[in-house]
């Protein structure tokens, strides 16, 4: 087939333009460090990269929620630790009273100490994390317990303190806190008295023992204190069980955090492989393409000969 000079020239210019485009693309990869700068670079890889970005944004949201959940749980756990310590001190005072070695005026002193410890329990119940009460659930701005003038406690938190829920994954939702109503205002299994009722009974019965007018009355009051000790033990067990449940949920959140981080690392690596240019390879290809381009220019000088019109113009 006969090839005209014009046709040969056009083919040469097309090839030269292709070489130049490849050279410019390599220059862009070298300057940006990315091999995906626009959809036309690699449509399939670009779509996969956009999907990875979307998934990473979603993962970041779950990770943020998990961190918030764990922070709130740790605050609640610290408050429950303080509550357990305070209840343990009250128990120690009751055991000392029931040993039978204290005089009536000594019991009055114990009563005063116990009232202060009961007030500390109320303080634990009303612990706030910012503007939210940690045991308030979805009604987090409502105080749970008030202390009366007699030192007794009164529940003011409403009939229920439903636990807050937070989504930490596509199908993973976690309860953040501890139900304050169940913790302070509900009698646990094995007793008919809630923690609030038990503490109020303890104050009343210690007062009775401290002010008893006879040995028999004092003995009756101490008998009631012994029953209160049993109720207190049941409520301490309830606090321990609810704190253990919280600890289990904290471990669950930590496991989810680990899983989310692993997925995030994998997607980040996948995204990097799709986006990031191999600079050593690009530099080598750029040098090769520059040599090809220069060789093409030399070849073009021999291929595109001057025409009669070019000579006449000169």
Tens digit of each residue's pLDDT (9 = 90 or more) over 217-258: 988 998 999 999 999 999 999 999 999 999 999 999 898 888
Which DSSP category does 188 fall into? P
* HSE toward the beta carbon, residue 41, CA cutoff 13 A: 20
204's enclosing H/E stretch is: helix 195-211
Token pair listed for 83: 């509550």
Q: What is the pLDDT of residue 30?
A: 52
State how beta strands 128-129 and 132-133 pair: antiparallel
Q: Indicate whether 150 pLDDT > 80.
A: yes
Q: Indicate whether 291 pLDDT > 80.
A: no
Instruction: Report yes or no: 129 and 141 within 8 Å, Cβ to Cβ.
Output: no
Q: Percentage of the chain with pLDDT > 70?
A: 66
Q: Indicate whether 274 pLDDT > 60.
A: no
Separation of alpha carbons 20 and 14, rounded Å = 10
What average pLDDT does the segment 202-226 reach? 90
Non-local (6+) Cβ contacts of 269 within 8 A are none
Local confidence band at 213 (pLDDT 50, 70, 90 cut-offs): confident
Q: Indicate whether 199 pLDDT > 80.
A: yes
Q: What is the pLDDT of residue 105?
A: 87
Q: Indicate whether 191 pLDDT > 80.
A: yes
Q: What is the pLDDT of residue 118?
A: 96
Give the other-Cβ count within 10 Å of 71's Cβ.
12
**Is the model's pTM score more than 0.75?**
no
| pLDDT per position as a tens digit, 8-24 | 556 656 655 666 566 55
- b/e 104-113 (16+ beta carbons within 10 angstroms → b): eeebeebbee
Question: Which residue did the predictor score with more confidence, 231 or 312?
Answer: 231
Separation of alpha carbons 283 and 288, rounded Å = 9
**DSSP notation for 8-66:** HHHHHHHHHHHHHHHHHHHHHHHHHSBS-SSGGG-HHHHHHHHHHHHHHHHHHHHHHHH
What average pLDDT does the segment 65-86 reach? 91
Q: Indicate whether 69 pLDDT > 60.
A: yes
| pLDDT per position as a tens digit, 17-62 | 666 566 556 556 555 655 555 555 555 555 666 667 777 788 888 7
Q: What is the pLDDT of residue 115?
A: 95
Which residues does residue 155 pair with via DSSP β-bridges, in sequence order?
145
Separation of alpha carbons 24 and 293, rounded Å = 11
Q: What is the pLDDT of residue 293?
A: 59
For the chain, what is the mean pLDDT?
A: 79
Instruction: Report yes or no: 94 and 229 within 8 Å, Cβ to Cβ.
Output: yes
Separation of alpha carbons 201 and 137, rounded Å = 27
Q: Indicate whether 187 pLDDT > 80.
A: yes
The alpha-helical segments, DSSP class H, found in 99-179 are 104-125
Token pair listed for 306: 């001057």
Question: Which residue did the predictor score with more confidence, 211 or 24?
Answer: 211
3-state helix, strand, coil in the chain (%, to 5): 70, 5, 20
Question: Which residue did the predictor score with more confidence, 140 or 100?
Answer: 100
Maximum mean pLDDT: which of 158-162, 175-179, 274-278, 294-298: 175-179
Taking alpha carbons only, the member of 140, 26, 130, 121 closest to residue 80 is 121
What average pLDDT does the segment 143-171 reach? 81
* HSE toward the beta carbon, residue 187, CA cutoff 13 A: 10
Which DSSP category does 140 fall into? T
Separation of alpha carbons 222 and 206, rounded Å = 8
């Amino acid at each position: 087939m006969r090839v005209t000079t014009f046709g040969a020239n056009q083919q040469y210019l097309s090839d030269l333009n292709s070489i130049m485009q490849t050279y410019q693309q390599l220059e862009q990869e070298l300057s940006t460090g990315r091999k995906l700068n626009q959809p036309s670079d690699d449509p399939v890889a670009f779509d996969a990269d956009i999907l990875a970005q979307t998934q990473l944004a979603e993962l970041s949201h779950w990770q943020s929620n998990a961190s918030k959940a764990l922070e709130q749980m740790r605050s609640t756990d610290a408050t429950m630790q303080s509550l357990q310590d305070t209840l343990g001190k009250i128990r120690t005072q009751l055991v000392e009273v029931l040993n039978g070695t204290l005089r009536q005026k000594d019991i009055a002193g114990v009563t005063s100490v116990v009232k202060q410890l009961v007030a500390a329990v109320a303080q634990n119940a009303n612990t706030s994390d910012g503007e939210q009460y940690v045991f308030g659930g979805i009604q987090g701005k409502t105080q749970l317990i008030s202390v009366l003038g007699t030192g007794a406690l009164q529940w003011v938190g409403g009939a229920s303190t439903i636990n807050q829920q937070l989504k930490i994954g596509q199908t993973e939702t976690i309860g953040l806190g501890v139900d304050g109503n169940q913790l302070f205002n509900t009698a646990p299994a094995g007793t008919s008295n809630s923690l609030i009722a038990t503490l109020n009974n303890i104050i009343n019965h210690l007062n009775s023992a401290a002010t008893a007018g006879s040995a028999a009355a004092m003995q009756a009051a101490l008998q009631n204190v012994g029953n209160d000790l049993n109720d207190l033990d049941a409520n301490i067990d309830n606090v321990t069980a609810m704190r253990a449940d919280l600890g289990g949920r904290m471990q669950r959140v930590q496991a989810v955090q680990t899983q989310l981080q692993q997925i995030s690392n994998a997607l980040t690596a996948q995204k990097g492989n799709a986006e990031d240019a191999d600079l050593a390879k690009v530099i080598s290809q750029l040098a090769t393409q520059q040599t090809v381009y220069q060789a093409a220019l030399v070849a073009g000088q021999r291929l595109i000969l001057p025409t009669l019109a070019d000579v006449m113009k000169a």
